[in-house]
Amino acid sequence: MRVCPRTEEERRRPKDKLGLDAYQFAKEIHEPYLIPLCKTIAQRNGITLHSVNIVGDNAGWHKGLENRALEKEPGYQIVSWPPQSPDLNVIENVWQMWKARLWRRFSKVALKGPFTEDEIWVACLEEGAAVEQDKIDELVNTMPRRIEAVIQAGAGHTKW
């Protein structure tokens, strides 16, 4: 799945940096991929769509009106999550490992650039696949300690 870069004509407000926004998330990710995925999960597990929980991290593009409208139609449940919360969201740590792999890959050939979109796409796929599963498993296994740390910190900052 590729999200198309937004153009100057798609700027919705003066301070819009043309990154991913709620409308684009709704039209290019939520509607074509997330809703069918939820339906497939429900069907394969013999459960109703209302039993499917989706965790959204409160990023602006998740909370937009377009997405709220789409969430009502299929009936799956949205579980709110603090944005970019590595304390309780292991995927943030996985993203960091992936980004570090990409940084190492491109810093070795920095003098070669600029890179084509296809070169970057291939690198993202290869480096994402190369993140070691045992490292991800280790992170998942830290969840009880992470939860305890968040409780002890009164939902404040922790070492995670």
The crossing angle, in degrees rounded to 10, of helices 133-141 and 90-108 is 150
Q: Are 33 and 20 within 8 A, CB to CB? A: no
The predicted structure's pLDDT at residue 88: 78
pLDDT single digits (tens) 127-156: 999 999 999 999 999 989 988 888 888 767
Residue 110: pLDDT band (50, 70, 90) is low
Whether the predicted pLDDT of 5 surpasses 80:
no
The predicted structure's pLDDT at residue 82: 62
- Stated pTM of the model: 0.55
The predicted structure's pLDDT at residue 109: 66
Which ranges of 109-158 does DSSP label H, i.e. alpha helix?
A: 117-130, 133-141, 143-152
